[in-house]
Amino acid sequence: MKFRIVIDKEREEEIVARVHQRTPLIDELEALVIADGTVGQITGYDENDIKMLDINEVESFYVEGGKTYASYSDKKQYRVKMHLYELEAVLPKEFEKINKSNIANMKQIVRFRTSLNGAVDAEFKSGFSDYISRRCFAELKRRYSL
């Protein structure tokens, strides 16, 4: 196996791995690269600051207006420069998809609210809430015996 680093400030950063087969080590390396080298943290941006967000304190990641945001325990929303599918690949198992545009930290949900029409919302510790799609709720119900 060879290892080579080429530093070129003029080109976009890219990591290419040529391997014979996918192994657990390759999966771990891919997750580390996608997470940008931060284990247990993710970079969040608000109007004036850049903050390293502790993954365990993130209530959910959601898409709004084509941009990804993290709803954080400090009741703020931070912009995240990753897509939901990239986040899904690196987040711990307590993060579950609750609809097509939200991945929720199940440890941060304080209750599920149902409405008269049968819709279910997840309410988080900070007061932030989002709906749970019927398909995702069926899966959550099966997995967590809700």
End-to-end CA separation in angstroms for the chain: 48
Name the residue with tokens 């703020």: 76
- For residue 9, tell me if it sits in a domain: no
CATH assignment of the domain containing 97: 2.40.50.1020
For tokens 């903050």, the residue is: 51
Position 73 in a domain: yes
d(CA 43, CA 61): 12
Is residue 13 domain-resident? Answer: no
Domain membership flag for residue 7: no
- Domain extent, residue 135, equals 24-144
Residue 34 above 70 pLDDT?
no
Q: Domains in the chain: how many in total?
A: 1
pTM for the whole thing?
0.69
Quick check: is 66 in a domain? yes
Per-residue pLDDT band at 37 (split at 50, 70, 90): low
Q: Is residue 10 part of a domain?
A: no
CB 124 within 8 A of CB 110: yes
Count Cα neighbours of 52 within 13 Å in the Cβ-side half-sphere.
Answer: 7
Looking at the domain assignment, is residue 5 inside a domain?
no
- Is 18 inside a domain boundary? no
Tell me the pLDDT tens digit for each residue of 54-110: 999 999 999 999 999 999 989 899 999 999 998 988 888 889 999 999 999 999 999
